Structure 1
């Protein structure tokens, strides 16, 4: 790795999804480095709405570097955004994609050709500018500030993941890799698969949380059809319920279990362990 690319650092960095899980962490780290940063979202300091392309031009004005947190819909708006960004003078793109996007069948039939993430990856590769692709697996933060939090707090986590395991990745590691790719040389053309340092099943995850909180949520194994029906009952449409169920498939099959080397390659250190994530989240009162 090299030192900060000062040429890029003198121009604003646009962070799409600047108030989200990885985006707000990227924004904080860039600003700590003294990099002028635009936190772009529907609620950020820079207005940006994937569904409203008229908001894109102002967000991109004067920007040379962009971190893209894509919208997970088909067709993806990422290719159109990339085209507009490059036409406006952007010279570096860092795309948040997903583990398994390049693996046929990884997410099941709902994500043919990598789904919307695959569309985004193909767009940045064909952009003609420097690009880096981040492919993280399931976030550790899904248990502390995401989709699993309410269930863990309520004492029962019901999922169709069986005895499958995943090497959950800390969102702080994702952000650090993103910042390196946004501000340093040596990351252009790189695809970083990002994971934690060990694989855990859901029972092991809940054990780790219980060690810090003193309260152990139960892991309830449900079948796929029952899980999908539960999502529909909560208001998801059939397509959304199917995609969400498919997204869990790599945990069920333990396709998310192998440890990846992206954090080590990008940062020169090992990824953060799940136990360290739990200690910090518990200290902040994530589980009450």
Structure 2
């Protein structure tokens, strides 16, 4: 379970004081892992969420100041995605507020090949923060903790991705890189691009999931309009359909080596993720 703290700093055994890190989206796929890893290092963490203490809400700037009180650094994630309208403006405004409050060290979770996400990156940099950008491929955990879970349980992944390939990256690898960036000043002013070790089509993903679960899971390409209807039926933003078309047009069909460069080890493979996730029973139909 993610650990939180109501104090703004702690004193280590060597007498040094360590201020609190704000983890925005601290209950999400990467945020909760970052929070747990920081807590394991003895670093106090404040969870930035609408249910946090104090609460944080991207759409309520009045909540930003209390969440930043006593904080000297922050992991910045934006929901639903940096490519959505208004994200860049909010990220820029938050970065300015953070620097003004004394939280100069900002690590931003970004996406690969998204011009709108790059605008958010520029706005964060313009705040004067000591920044690190962590650009990521699609997460493995989208299949067991997010919007692909239900299709996997149903045995059919229907997406408007045709034969596109993606170097899926693991949330544990992302969290390890983010923690390194938050705790080591050598990452200031750097952009780390993270992918997994190989390119996979959604046919490949379905085959790996079938092997891990021991049951047939298929992939069915659908039109953009059909997928928009699926999103509407699940109460999800229809803009996700446009995001699929944008980032799965081949621009991201290559590997990056940020995990190896930062952590000195290879990234986790999707097959290993699928095998371990299946063992938890999350995909038991």
TM-score (norm 1): 0.87
- 2:8 pairs with 1:12: no
The C-alpha deviation readout for 1:110-136, integer Å capped at 9, x for no partner, is xxxx22x23320122112231000110
Q: Number of aligned pairs?
A: 266
1:34 to 22, 27, 42: 42
Counterparts in 2 of 1:150 and 1:234: CA distance versus 1, 3 Å: closer
The C-alpha deviation readout for 1:227-277, integer Å capped at 9, x for no partner, is 2243345555xxx42x21122125643433311111112111111111111
- 2:75 pairs with 1:67: yes
The equivalent of 2:266 in structure 1 is: 270
Displacement of 1:8 in angstroms is 9.4
**SS of structure 2 residue aligned to 1:93:** strand
- 2:67 pairs with 1:54: no
Task: Output the aligned Cα RMSD.
Answer: 1.9
- 2:157 pairs with 1:149: no
Displacement of 1:224 in angstroms is 1.9
Gaps of 5+ in 2: 1-13
Distance 2:36 2:54 in 1: 15
Does the aligned pair in 2 maintain the 1:139–1:171 contact within 8 Å?
yes
Distance 1:248 1:9 in 2: 44
Does the aligned pair in 1 maintain the 2:113–2:247 contact within 8 Å?
no
Distance 1:164 1:57 in 2: 42
Does the aligned pair in 2 maintain the 1:15–1:67 contact within 8 Å?
yes
2:105 to 92, 99, 107: 92
Does the aligned pair in 1 maintain the 2:196–2:268 contact within 8 Å?
yes
Counterparts in 2 of 1:7 and 1:136: CA distance versus 1, 3 Å: farther
Displacement of 1:216 in angstroms is 1.7
1:246 to 234, 242, 245: 242
Q: Please give the residue correspondences for 1:1-288 in structure 2 after superposition, counting only pairs within 5 Å.
A: 10-71=18-79, 72=81, 73-76=84-87, 77-101=90-114, 114-115=115-116, 117-235=117-235, 240-241=237-238, 243-249=239-245, 252-288=248-284
Does the aligned pair in 2 maintain the 1:250–1:256 contact within 8 Å?
no
Does the aligned pair in 1 maintain the 2:207–2:218 contact within 8 Å?
no
Does the aligned pair in 1 maintain the 2:141–2:170 contact within 8 Å?
yes
**SS of structure 1 residue aligned to 2:188:** coil
Distance 2:196 2:176 in 1: 14
Does the aligned pair in 1 maintain the 2:24–2:77 contact within 8 Å?
yes
**SS of structure 2 residue aligned to 1:278:** helix
Moved over 4 A (4+): 6-9, 233-236
Distance 1:231 1:273 in 2: 28
